[in-house]
Structures are given as C-alpha cells and as structure tokens.
Structure 1
Amino acid sequence: MTPQTDWSIIDFHAHVRPSWWQPALPDASEIDPEERAKRLERFKKLVDVDLLVRESEEGDVALRLLSSTIEGFFGTEGPTDIGEIRRVNDFLSNVQSRHAGRLAALATVDAYAGDVAAREAERAIVELGHVGIVIDSSRDQKFLSAPEVRPTLEVAAKHKVPVLVHPVGAPNSDALTRGGGVAAYSFGRGLVNGAAFFSALKAGIFEQLPDLHLVFTAIGTGALVIAAAEAEQYSDEARAKGNLPNAYFDVMGLNPQTIRYLVDFLGADRVVAGSDWPIWAPITRSTLTTAFEKAGLTPGQQKAIAEGNARQLLGLRNT
C-alpha cells in the first residue's frame, strides 16, 4: 500500500433489514416511476446480507456497523412494538455472529419509549453483544432532550458504546418533496438530524454524560454553521482549545468539500467513515481514497477518519 492508503475502512453507517420486513411504498400514481424503481431496488438490497458482505469484500471494507432504524419499521410517529424491536435485535445478533469480524450490530432502540427502551438497549449490549446503539433523531416531534430519551443515553454511557443518531423524515416531508423533489426531502432529514444535535447541546447531555459519544451524519452538517455562531461549545475559542463535545459526524456521500469542512471545523478526530449503504454513494477503498485526496487530507487524517476514530469509539467499552 502507498502511505496515503495505509488504513482499513470501518463503515459506521450501513443498513440491513430482516426478511420479514414490509417496506412502505407510495402508490404508483403518487411517485415518479424512476424514483419508485430506485426504491424497489434499494429495498431488495436491504434484506440481502450476502450482497452487503460481497460488496464489503470487493470494496475492501474491513467492518460495517449495521443499523435497522425504528423509523424503518414504525415511521416517525405513534407507538412501537417492543416485541418486534427485540425480534430485530435478535436478527442483528444472528447476522453479527454469522459474519463476525466483517459485520457488527448497533442495537435498534426506540429511545423515546423511556425505561422500556433502556432495558432493551441493556439486553442488546450485554446479552447479544451489540457494539453500539442506533436511535432516531426525533419521534413524535420529540428530540434527544426529551426526558424519555435519557435512560437509553445513560445505558450507552454506562457501557461506553457509541450511539448513531440517525436522520428521520421531517414532519412536513410531503410538502418538501412536492416543493423541491427528493433532494428537498433529504434536506429535511438533515434538518431533523441537525436539530437533534442542538437538542443534545441545549440539554447539556455531553457535560452530564462524559462517557456518551454521539455520531451524527453528513446531511446534518448544516447545523455546524449555526453552532459556530450560536453555540458556546463551538465558538472560535472553544474550537481553538480543541475541547469539543463528544459529537462526531460521518462522511456519507463522500463529498470532498464536505469532508474538508468537517475536518477544518471539528478536527479529524471527530469525523468517521459512513456510507448509508445501500442508499448513498458506496464506500470502497477507491472511492474513499479519491475523496480524501481531493479534500487534501494528510495521511494521518485519512487513517483517523477511515478507521482510527471508529476503533477508538468501539474500544472505549474495554477501557
């Protein structure tokens, strides 16, 4: 390997669904035929674990962290079924066992369900061996600052496992799509992800739970523009000191300018590789190397983002 690619890849943000999952798809009259075809193809990939493993091997991705989000099963509002959630986590545990060393599971948790969610997070981490947790950015228009979420976050901090805060559809998603198409819908998801980031700052979660590490996504990067102006934790002085909250952002989309911004604003130690497989741009050694080189990253920065930061987060549990 050349010095520029002397690293492995840990994809922090990849999705799977169990075979019994029933995806929601609008009627043919309500969606563009091309977009409908894309979604159907995506749905097929989500239940094809063997395809994910093959693509990981072909792309030289050492490890992928698997997410099956609450939104994917229950939407963004209304009650959830703890029995179904436990079933999903058992499925993820089985996948993790069958592909040990290649795939690892983030526990599916409805963090907005209070103590019930915390107990399931504890079971998934302790009994099933999940390496972290994935929670929705928002549910029923509540965010991470809601008291119901605190028990799950405390479990994550107790066991020192990372939490992927996944985007969800904005409450006005239909209007966004009508007005600006699929891109506007995605922007709405980024908005909700960024709002979740601010809810954690507002509630003082990072200060109160110093062993908690939250991972947000690149589509929520716009929140950092506001944070620079309005959040004391990300002021010029705070960033100069380098003592930032334990908030990380992934690089889904692999846009070099976005990666450069994240590194310049947060530092390379707060950025992780993440693809959003199978939805956004695929992450491979080739695509990631190209993005890093175009972003002008040093070999050390490349290694930190590709694998180092993720390894550190996954290793905290053993310290």
Structure 2
Amino acid sequence: MMPQDPPRLIDFHSHYYDEGWLPLPVPQGTTGVARAWPMLTNIEAQLAAMDVAGIDAKVISAPASTIVSPVEQLPLILMERINDQIATLVDRYPDRLLGLATIDAFQGKAAAREVVRAIKTLHLRGICIDCSQGGHYLDANEARPVLEMAAELGITIFVHPVSPAGLTERLSHLGHTGTLLARGTENAASILSLLRSGILDKYPNLRIVLPMIGIASLFFSGIAEHEYRRADNWKGSSPAELRKNLYIDTMGFDIPTLRFAIDLLGPEHVLIGSDWPIMPITTRRRVDELLAILKLTEEQKAAILSGNTERLLTPLTSQ
C-alpha cells in the first residue's frame, strides 16, 4: 500500500495589506507592524516564505482596524475595494490562498449587504470583523445585521482583536507583549458580550473563530456560570454551553495553552493560526513537533493542521 501524503498545513490567521487601499506613511520604528511591513504588503514574498517554511496555504484577512483606527468606520467603498482585491488574489493563487472578506460589522445593514456580495459574488469563504469599535462590542445593535447574515449564509466569522484606547497605552511599558495583552483583553470582552447577549441562542449555527490571545473568554465563560445561574440580565444559555460555537487558533504555539484549549473545546475546535507576518513565521517542522508533544491521534492532528479550517470555510449550506 502506498503511503498517504501528509495533511496540508493551512495558516488561518495570516494577513495581507495592499498599499493601494488607503495609502499611509510606511510605519517606522520597531513595532510589529513596522517590522512586518515589507512582507505584509508583498504577497509574492509571503508565498516564497511559505514555501521555505513548509506552509501549504494561508487564509488572507485584512482587519479593518489595521487600515483605519479602531474608533473609525471603514468607508464602504474601501471595504468593497479590499474584498475585490482579496478575491483577485485568491483567484490568482487558488491552491495557496483562501480569503476572508473584510467587514466593518458596526455599519448595520450596509455591512450585511457587503457580506452577501463578498460571499455570493466574490466567493470569499468567510468574514473577518473587528471585536469592537469606539467602545461598542459585538452585542451592539449595530452589529446585529452582520451576525444575522453570517448565520443565514452559514459562514464563519473571524473576530479579530483591536488595540483599545487607554489600556493599550497603560500596558505599553510591557512592550509588544503588553500590546497583545490589551488586544486580547478587548477581544475576550467582546466574545463574552456575545455569549451573554442571547445572539448565539437565536443563531446557534454561528461559528466564531478567535485568536489565542483572546483565550480569557474561554476561561471566564466558565467562571461566569455562577452569574448565569443567579442573574436576570443573562439573556442566553449557559456561557459554558455556548463555547461550542467558539473556535480558537494556535497563535503563540505555547504547549500548556494549547492543551488548555484542546481540553476545553476539543481538537475539532482548534486550528493552526499564527498572526503572520506580524508575528514570526512558524515552520511545518515546528508545528509537527508541537502536535507530537500533545500526543494527538493522526486524525486529530490532521484536523488541526487543515481539516478544521477547510470545514469552517465551507458554508454550512453546502455541507
């Protein structure tokens, strides 16, 4: 019997920025974005680096808050331009790239219409939204039309972190890790607002992916059980029960953290994601070594490497 080819490795959490979308000064200094800028804006260089690292494919996303500030709305015409370009890149490299539509979820019905166009006309595979905007989380009324449309189309939502004003500055003395802590805290708070809003009861097929830096939402959704049992302002089901709607990437690739996520959600809810090229690229060799340490079955490894991402990026209506 011929040996089977190893499962593909698909990086779910990976970014691209086209300088033509909204021309900005090239970032200076030693921030993550400044260091990543040459790679972030060059898709051919990204593909070449992926070849060296043994990464078979990546999911392109361009979060709105990397283009405008997290208190600004993304102009609709720019949202459309970004999604058109992402679709073009996916068409150009169909074996290497998958695309998430950039959606400003806080623009109500106009944003929901762009979700329909991006999925049905451009054939993108899901949407990427910011976790908050101007102090509003995903339980805000403004975000409801986008969530409703995602549920209707059966598509996955990647909830991306933003840098919250105030907390980001207070934690800046901790360096890049402090920035990640602030962003992860904002992400977790938005996920918790979603869990307690009743939205996931109304739309139980919603599939929400969060980055590993938002893992506190998993922890606190368990702690919140006591509040759920006695509070009259908790609109939905048990927060621990609603974690079944959540998926998490491997950003950071820390073994104890990965064990926690796998134990809590199950390996079918964990997917490879790195935040590259903002974070350093992770090689196939390192990923295989980490999965071996976790003592997963071959089926579970294949799911985390690519199977979960492929399933999440196939609309429920097509399954």
| TM-score where L is the length of structure 1 | 0.88
Task: Determine if the alignment matches structure 1 residue 218 to structure 2 residue 212.
Answer: yes
**Equivalence for 2:156:** 162
Q: How far apart, in 1, do the equivalents of 2:308 and 2:221 lie?
A: 22
Q: 1:253, 1:281 within 8 Å by CA — same for their partners in 2?
A: no
**Cα offsets for 1:51-101 (capped at 9, x unmatched):** 121222333323211101110111101333111111111111111111112
Q: How far apart, in 1, do the equivalents of 2:35 and 2:280 lie?
A: 15
Unaligned runs of 5+ in 2: 229-237
Q: 2:195, 2:239 within 8 Å by CA — same for their partners in 1?
A: no
- Secondary structure of the 1:252 match is coil
Task: Determine if the alignment matches structure 1 residue 279 to structure 2 residue 278.
Answer: yes
Q: 2:150, 2:156 within 8 Å by CA — same for their partners in 1?
A: yes
**Equivalence for 2:288:** 289
Structure 1 residue 296: Cα displacement: 3.2
AA at the equivalent of 2:179: Y
Q: How far apart, in 2, do the equivalents of 1:277 and 1:179 lie?
A: 23
**Cα offsets for 1:208-236 (capped at 9, x unmatched):** 1122111011001122221221146354x
Q: How does 1:81-96 map to 2 (within 5 A)?
A: 81-96=75-90
Q: How far apart, in 2, do the equivalents of 1:79 and 1:249 lie?
A: 26
AA at the equivalent of 2:101: A
Structure 1 residue 18: Cα displacement: 1.0
AA at the equivalent of 2:9: I
Q: How far apart, in 2, do the equivalents of 1:178 and 1:8 lie?
A: 37
**Equivalence for 2:53:** 59
Structure 1 residue 291: Cα displacement: 1.7
1:77–1:244 CA distance, 2 compared to 1 (3 A): closer
AA at the equivalent of 2:46: L
**Equivalence for 1:263:** 262
**Equivalence for 1:142:** 136
Structure 1 residue 151: Cα displacement: 0.9
Task: Determine if the alignment matches structure 1 residue 199 to structure 2 residue 193.
Answer: yes
Task: Determine if the alignment matches structure 1 residue 109 to structure 2 residue 108.
Answer: no
Structure 1 residue 295: Cα displacement: 2.9
- Secondary structure of the 1:7 match is coil
Q: How far apart, in 2, do the equivalents of 1:258 and 1:24 lie?
A: 37
Structure 1 residue 161: Cα displacement: 1.3
Q: How does 1:39-54 map to 2 (within 5 A)?
A: 39-54=33-48
Structure 1 residue 244: Cα displacement: 4.4
AA at the equivalent of 1:278: P
Q: How far apart, in 2, do the equivalents of 1:283 and 1:318 lie?
A: 32
Q: How far apart, in 1, do the equivalents of 2:208 and 2:172 lie?
A: 32
Structure 1 residue 305: Cα displacement: 1.1
More helix by percentage: 1
Q: 1:262, 1:271 within 8 Å by CA — same for their partners in 2?
A: yes
Q: How far apart, in 1, do the equivalents of 2:181 and 2:25 lie?
A: 20
- Secondary structure of the 1:265 match is helix
Structure 1 residue 154: Cα displacement: 1.6
The count of residues paired between Structure 1 and Structure 2 equals: 304
1:129–1:45 CA distance, 2 compared to 1 (3 A): same
**Equivalence for 1:17:** 17
Q: How far apart, in 2, do the equivalents of 1:41 and 1:49 lie?
A: 16
AA at the equivalent of 1:127: T
**Equivalence for 2:248:** 249
Structure 1 residue 24: Cα displacement: 6.1
**Equivalence for 2:123:** 129
**Equivalence for 2:233:** none
Higher mean C-alpha deviation, range 39-48 or range 289-298: 289-298
Identical-pair percentage: 30
Q: How far apart, in 2, do the equivalents of 1:179 and 1:283 lie?
A: 27
Q: 2:218, 2:243 within 8 Å by CA — same for their partners in 1?
A: no
**Cα offsets for 1:26-74 (capped at 9, x unmatched):** 7x7xxxx5x25x5433111111000121222333323211101110111
Task: Determine if the alignment matches structure 1 residue 186 to structure 2 residue 185.
Answer: no
AA at the equivalent of 2:42: D
Task: Determine if the alignment matches structure 1 residue 79 to structure 2 residue 73.
Answer: yes
AA at the equivalent of 2:200: F
Q: How far apart, in 2, do the equivalents of 1:143 and 1:63 lie?
A: 31
Structure 1 residue 177: Cα displacement: 4.0
